Structure 1
Amino acid sequence: MASLTRSTAPVQLGVQLAGRGAAAGARVRDALAGAGLTLRSSFTLRLLAEGPVGQQALIDLLGVDPSALVAVLNELEGLGLVSRQRDPADRRRHIVTMTAEGAGALRAVDQVLAQADDELFAALSPAERDQLARLLDKIADDCGDQ
């Protein structure tokens, strides 16, 4: 009769990372939802923190379909967090700018994400968190991700 005991075979790192990533992603999405934003809208605000960006550049930076970005910008604009204007140098282009309300929302996002990180990584020391960040960056660089 087969044993029902737990296998001692090692779990593949990719599988382990995917499982932990799904749990972390859910916690981050929940934290952002509490701030009234989605992951994509918070990424968009983060990109706009450096200053106005052309809509096409945002599409490229986020790696999304143009219609997906339009939906995010419509949402953010409806909340008063961003504004879009035609580029005076090229009327076919739109320039997206974060509003003062958007900057406030981004500060709130930073706070809820810091709290989520504290909960997610409570078992790690600050040095271990730094090491994990470096390792994840190394993996992302090797995979060609940004």
Structure 2
Amino acid sequence: MSEPASDPPAISAGAALIRMATVIRDRELSVRTSFDLTAVDLHILRLSPGLPSMGALVTSLNAPKSTITSAVKRLEARGLVVRGADESDRRRYIVSTTARGMTRLAEVEAALASSIKDIVDVLPAERRNRLTALLSRIPDSPVSVA
């Protein structure tokens, strides 16, 4: 005996992911704004525990050096990051998150997680776990379409 055919999805997986990404982006904007952070600020805070150089931040964020420099100066003024010369190459500057910056990042991430909790809470636990497993298989790095 065969199982009954399931209803086809109302939208494609790609369209569903785009829809979810839009909702999450809008909620992230709201959270970032409440903490007075730009998108670049938040990316720097997320990357700087790894002690990136200014050049690495420019490359990672695909942003002009002036944008990164301004953001780092803004974050430094707020005590969230410090910038210092690389001991192995005094020409390079390393950006690191301060304890205050790590606390702020944790607060932002917690607020963001809370702001999107309702999106997945509509699913039963088994489906949430399956969704998490599926989404964790999506690569972090962008895929070239060329």
TM-score, normalised by the number of residues in structure 2:
0.74
- Assess if the C-alpha contact under 8 Å between 1:53 and 1:95 holds in 2: yes
Match of 1:134 in 2: 133
Alignment-mate amino acid for residue 99 of structure 1:
T
Paired residues of 2:81 and 2:96 also in contact (CA < 8 A): yes
State the match for 1:65 in structure 2.
64
Structure 2's unaligned 5+ residue stretches are: 1-8
- Decide whether the 8 Å contact of 2:28 with 2:112 is kept in 1: yes
Kindly state the Cα deviation for residue 141 of structure 1 after the two structures are TM-superposed.
5.9
The letter for the 1-side match of 2:72 is L
CA contact (8 A) 1:121 1:129 kept: yes
**CA distance in structure 1 between the partners assigned to 2:13 and 2:39 by the alignment:** 25
CA RMSD of aligned residues (A): 2.8
C-alpha change, 1:118 and 1:85, in structure 2 (3 Å) is same
- For normalisation by structure 1, the TM-score amounts to 0.74
| In structure 1, distance between residues paired with 2:99 and 2:137 | 35
The alignment covers a number of residue pairs equal to 137
Structure 2 vs 1, CA of residues 37 and 91 (structure 1 numbering), >3 Å: closer, same or farther? same
2:102 equivalent to 1:103: yes
Q: What residue identity is the alignment partner of 1:90?
A: D
Contact 1:35 1:108 in 2 (8 A): no
Question: Does structure 1 conserve the Cα–Cα contact (< 8 Å) formed by 2:40 and 2:71?
Answer: yes
Distance 1:71 1:130 in 2: 40
**CA distance 1:89–1:49, change in 2 (3 Å):** closer
* 2:113 aligned partner: 114
